Each structure stands twice: as structure tokens, then as C-alpha cells.
Structure 1
Amino acid sequence: MSVYRRGKSWYIDVRIGGVRIHRKAGNTKAEAKRVEEELKTKWRLKQLHVSEIKEDPVSFGFVAKQYLEHCAKVKAPKTFAVEKYCLNKHIIPFFEHKFVNDFTTEDLLEYQGVKKSEGLSNRTVNIHISIVRNIINFAVDKGFIAQSPVKKYPMLKESKKQHAFLTPKELKALIENIADPLTRKRVLFGALTGMRPAELAYLTWSDVDFYNGTVKIQGKENWKPKTNEERIIPLCDEAVKILRELYEKRKSKWVFSNTDRPVLSIKRALKTAAKKAGITRPVSPNMIRHTFATLSLMAGVNIMEVKEIMGHSQIKTTTRYLHTLQQHLKTAVQKVAEFMREGKKDKNNF
């Protein structure tokens, strides 16, 4: 896009001889086109001066639009949808007319205050600040600005998130009450591998290596892994057995589908099975993944190994399961104390 409109003015954004020229060019498209041709002519005649390639300030709204177009091509659909919502609902209306190179830490602190007063959580506001940082870095990468004007991005303190998980007894009861055999195997396979719900949905037979006992998480035509990185997951004997049973009766290229389309959601099946199993807590597909991670740590698996299997880009994501584990162990110790107190009362009654 070499010529575009912003407000009532027209701008040019072109590269001439390896030099990016981004500037206001007039009040009509014709005027902007004429200025663009004049600059190209001067370049050919070697008469283009430094003063003529000076960039005008770029609005946040303009860069945000370019950023979204970029994200739509490279990010997973779910991640893109979240960023698009945050930008359109909150961030762009607040910063739309501010120039990117004028951003300061104080602007971000003001944004934090306003959004907190609207009732947004610290976690949500921090996500917004991270998106703003991504857009400013994008502006630097694309040459809209020379360097980031913000030296420090303020972040609010977040409460440590504790992931809900199922006990082995609850997991067994849940699986036994899933009516559909394929969904039942999918849930059990997810509990044995810690794969994300979308990774299970988009798993194809070409991703399965029976010889080495592994599955490969990799992008498909209309789907990309959350971190955009491929990884290999080793399988236990029971997980391999599940795949062999499914392979013999396969009807699709998708491991957990009997049609030519992947099954994207099993929420309803889990809700029904949980009710039949007597589980009063909400059970989600992600809860199966959390169960794998928590039970792995309980079993003594090294946290770095859990990180690699789960596909976490940062160890701090994996350590959240430690907080869940610590709370579980604290509850267990409390039960021991209660049991000892009850035993002491019983002894006094004899």
C-alpha cells in the first residue's frame, strides 16, 4: 500500500532506492500520487535530498491495523481472536489518535488506572499492555519508528493461578461415563499425553510414529500450534495401544474423528459424563491437560520434563502447577491432623 488516507489527509509509504519514505502528501489521492511520482523521478535523476525522506509521526490506530493483518497470517486463530477483541474493544479506542513515537510509561499507567476502574482484572490489563508492547515493537520492525519510545512497560501484580484438575478416581469415573467410544479414547489419550484440546482435534495419522512411539505436534493448513513451534511427544504403552486400536478402524485422516473434518469441541460430552460421574465441579477439555501435568508432578516427574511435554515456552507457566500441587499437599496434611485429633477424642472416650 503506497498511498493511503488518514483522516482528511493522504499519505505515501514507499521504498525508493532502499530508503523508506513515509510522509503526508496532500489532501487528495491525486496529490499523493503526484508527490510519489516526483520523488521517484528525483531518485532516478539523483536529486532526492535527505529532507524529503523525513518521516511523519504514525498514529497508533494505523499501526494497530497493520499489526492485526500480520497476526491474522501468522498466529493461531484463537490467539488472533483474543488480540483482535482486546484491540477493538479496549486498546484502539483509548490510543487511536496517539502517535506511536510519543508513547510514554505514564500513558500506559493512565490506561491501567482507567481499565481497573472499569472492573478489568490485573491479568486482563497486563494482557492489554503486552499487546501494546507488541504493536510498538512491530512499528520498529516495520520501520514506522526508529526505536521504542517506552523504556519500561508497567505490569500489575497478578494472583497466582491455580489450575483445576481431576483426581485419578474422578478421571476414571469421568471416562467410564463418556458414551461415545471415540471421545472416551480421546479423553484418555489426552490424560496420558497432556496435549492441548486443539492439538488432539488436529492430530492426523501422519503425525503418529508407531515405530518410535511418538506423536508430532505440527501445523496444518488451517491451524497452527499455540506457540507456532513443533514438538515431539513420547507415548506410554497405553497411549500407543489406544492409537493402534483406532488405526485399525480408522475412517478419516484425523485420529479423533470419523469424518473428513476434525472434531473441535467435546465440551458437551464432558459435561454430561461429569454429571453422571457425580463430579460437581465444571469439567473442561483443558482440565484434562491440567490433570496430566499435576499428576505427573505428584508422581515425581522432573518439572523440566513436564515443561517439554506440555510445550510451554517458559518454565514459569509450568510452575503454576506446583502451586496447585502444594495446595493439594497442604490439604492432605490437614486431613492427617484432623484424623489425629479425632483419634485423640476417641481415646479419651474409652
Structure 2
Amino acid sequence: MFLDNYLAARKHELAAGTHTLHKTTANYLKAFFKADLRIDQITKQKARQFKTDLAGGLLSYVSKRPQELSQGTVDGHMRNARTMFNFAIADDMLPLNPFKHLCQTILVDKEWHYITADDYNKLVNASPASWQLLFALCRLAGLRRSEALHLAWNNIDWEQNTILVISKENWKTKTRRSRKVPMCPELQSILAAADPGNPVVAEVIIEGLSRNNLWRDFHKIRETAGINEYKKPFQVMRKSCAQDWADYNVPVNSLHIWMGHTKLETTMNYYLKASKLEYQRAAETNFFKKECANSVQKPIKDSS
């Protein structure tokens, strides 16, 4: 009953995708703890056993597509459970959260695939116009896929060269917050060429793109472009954009805002890595040049 009430109460607070993830977590909790178990009877030991069974695949039958869960996915469900039970504490239903110390911070693999200019151009050249706009907004402005698909022409500020990412009546941003993102000259040219010419038009920029077959169509484009398959293509486009900004010495607090992250740690831990440019700069820097210059022995004058 508590889980059902929680999901109903947060249906309009959470983004649709996030609410679906919480619903999946709730289904796992119901399967393990059974419907007749009171939440004040869930101890830390039982919560820990829930995590063990979830990671071990003993609850896989709950999913429509049973599969082994990664450590990151398990930790995500544990964070969701912690959030749910924090609400129970706020409602005076529990004194302590049994999931509080079970949401481990996992080590993040930073070796994601960087989308080079060559890869980007190959994708664009193999794409129809609508896909070219999608790739440009994700790779050159760091927009999320859903943000790019819902972006309207009246969200473009041509005077300031910025993009306003903002929730709409039928769609909400992931964080429910609005933000402004800079437009680089290349993106300005791409959007200007597609601009219908009416500065107040509210129609979306990307039209004629089938969202139901998005992944199927993307992989066809990727194969035509001759690019190897890699994980989470639109997310790594965002990451590649953030990396470019960082390499141009954009302050991390600005990156955090432009990427639309709730926490600065997300930008630091998941989006940035030591780039080839930084390795090159370090390799070309003589850190002891000054000290070496000062330590050069002066020639001894002949006193004869």
C-alpha cells in the first residue's frame, strides 16, 4: 500500500522515465518483501538481503525481459528504495531508513567513446536533414536527446547565440529546470540554414523523425557512415561536447549549468576525463625549466 501511494503521489513530480524506474524498483520490493509485510518490519538485514537477491538474479522473474543486472543498475534501484523510504520517514511512518547505507558509490568507468569531428561528420553526411539537426544539437550543444526533440524555434536567441532548454505543457526537462546553452558558430550556421524565418514560431525544430524507431534508424545511419558500434550514442555526444568545453577552459561550474546537471559531482565524475589535449600539454611542459635555469653552473673566471 505504501509503495502504491508513493508512486501515485510522485507521478506528476518525477519525469516520466524516472517514475517508470521507481515503479520497477517498487515491483522488485513487492516481490521480495511480499505485499502483506509492513514497512516498519523491514530491517537493515532484510534490506541488505534484498540487494543480494537483486544482484544475484533471484528477482529477475519480476522483469518482462529477465536479465542479469549490472552493479550500477542494482545501485540505482537501491537509491530509489532509499528515496521511497525517506518519504516514509517524512510521513512519520518510520524512524530510520533501512536502505540508508546500502547505496554504494561505484567507481565510474571514464573510458567512454569520444565522438571526434571526423565521426560526427560521417554521421551527418549519412543522415537526412532531421537527423542532422538531432546530431548537431546533441554533439555541439550538449542537449539530451529528448531536449533536442522538443526544442522549438522560439527557444533560439539569435542575438545572444543561446538556446533555452525549458519544460513545456506536454513535456518536462529531466530536472524540471530551465537553462541556457551557448551556440557555437558551426551550430549557428546549421540552425540558420534550417530556420523557417519566423522568430516567434513555436513549432519544434526537428520534424519528420520517427521516435518509435529511433534506435533502429540510428544504427542504420551508423552502419552507412562506417562507424563502429558504441554504447549510449546520444549520451556520449553530450559527454563529448562537455569535454570540448572543458578543453577550452570553460569553468566547471559553467559546465555544470550548461549540461543541466542537478549535482556538480555528476559533471565531474561521469562526464569529464583526461583528454588527449591535456596529455599533450603535460608532455610538452618542462616543469623544472625555471629551476634548471637557476641551477646552471656559472663558468669559473680565470684569475691568472
TM > 0.5: yes
- Aligned AA (1:69): A
Aligned to 1:215, the other structure's residue is in SS state strand
2:5 corresponds to which of 66, 69, 74: 66
Q: Which runs of 5 or more residues in structure 1 are unaligned?
A: 1-61, 334-350
What amino acid is the match of 2:83? Answer: N
Quote the residue 1:95 is aligned against. 33
| Aligned mate of 2:262, from 304, 308, 313 | 313
1:240–1:104 CA distance, 2 compared to 1 (3 A): same
- In structure 2, which of residues 223, 236, 245 is the aligned counterpart of residue 287 of structure 1? 236
**Contact 2:82–2:99 (Cα < 8 Å) also in 1:** no
User: 1:16-31 residue pairs with structure 2 within 5 A?
Assistant: none
| 1:210 corresponding residue in structure 2 | 158
Q: Which amino acid aligns with 1:206?
A: N
Partner of 2:117: 168
1:131 and 2:80 correspond: yes
Structure-2 separation of matches of 1:276 and 1:331: 33
- For the 8 Å contact 2:242–2:271, the answer to whether it is kept is no
Asked if the contact 1:252/1:258 (under 8 Å) is kept, the reply is: no
SS state of the match for residue 98, structure 1?
A: coil
User: Residue 187 of structure 1 aligns with which residue?
Assistant: 135
Measure how far apart 1:247 and its partner are.
2.3
2:182 to 231, 234, 242: 234
Question: Is the Cα contact below 8 Å between 2:166 and 2:179 reproduced in 1?
Answer: yes
CA shift, 1:65, in A, is 0.2
Aligned residue for 2:163, secondary structure, equals strand
* Pairwise CA distance, 1:263: 5.0
Letter in 2 for 1:73: H
Structure with the greater alpha carbon radius of gyration: 1
Residue equivalent to 1:345: none
Task: Confirm or deny that 1:153 pairs with 2:153.
Answer: no
The structure with the greater share of residues assigned to strand is 1
Partner Cα distance (2:53, 2:168) in 1: 40
Distance change in 2, residues 1:101/1:275 (3 Å): same
When the two structures are superposed, what TM-score results if normalisation uses the length of structure 1? Answer: 0.67
Equivalent position amino acid for 1:188 in 2: A
Matches within 5 A, 1:251-330: 253-257=203-207, 266-282=214-230, 284-321=233-270, 324-325=273-274
CA contact (8 A) 1:174 1:273 kept: yes
What is the TM-score with the length of structure 2 in the denominator? Answer: 0.76
Aligned to 1:200: 148
Q: Would the alpha carbon gap of residues 128 and 253 (structure 1) be closer, same or farther in structure 2, given more than 3 Å must change?
A: same
Amino acid at match of 2:228: T
The letter of the residue matching 2:258 is: I
Residue 10 of structure 1: aligned partner? none
| Structure 1 counterpart SS, 2:114 | coil
* Counterparts of 1:197 and 1:191, CA distance in 2: 10
Higher normalized contact order (CA 8 Å, seq sep 6+, divided by chain length): 2
Report if aligned partners of 1:214, 1:233 keep a CA contact under 8 Å in 2.
Answer: yes
Count matched residues.
Answer: 268
- 1:188 Cα deviation after fit: 1.6
CA offsets per residue over residues 21-77 of structure 1, 9 Å max, x none? xxxxxxxxxxxxxxxxxxxxxxxxxxxxxxxxxxxxxxxxx1110111123222111
Is this contact kept in 2: 1:298–1:325, CA < 8 A? no
* Corresponding residue number in structure 2 for 1:221: 169
Higher mean Cα deviation, 316-325 or 184-193? 316-325
Query: 2:9 is paired with a residue of what secondary structure?
Result: helix
Change (3 A) 1:311 1:168: same
Aligned residue for 1:104?
43
TM-superposed deviation, 1:189: 2.7
Please report how far the alpha carbon of residue 151 of structure 1 lies from its aligned counterpart in structure 2 after TM superposition: 8.3
**Cα RMSD (Å) of the superposition?**
3.1
Query: After superposition, what is the alpha-carbon deviation per residue over 1:289-339, rounded to whole angstroms, capped at 9, x for unaligned?
Result: 12212232334333322221111111221123566435x679989xxxxxx
Letter of the 2:206 counterpart: F
Greater alpha carbon shift after TM alignment, 93-102 vs 228-237: 93-102
User: For 1:161 and 1:241, how far apart are their aligned partners in 2?
Assistant: 35
Give the AA of the match of 1:306.
L
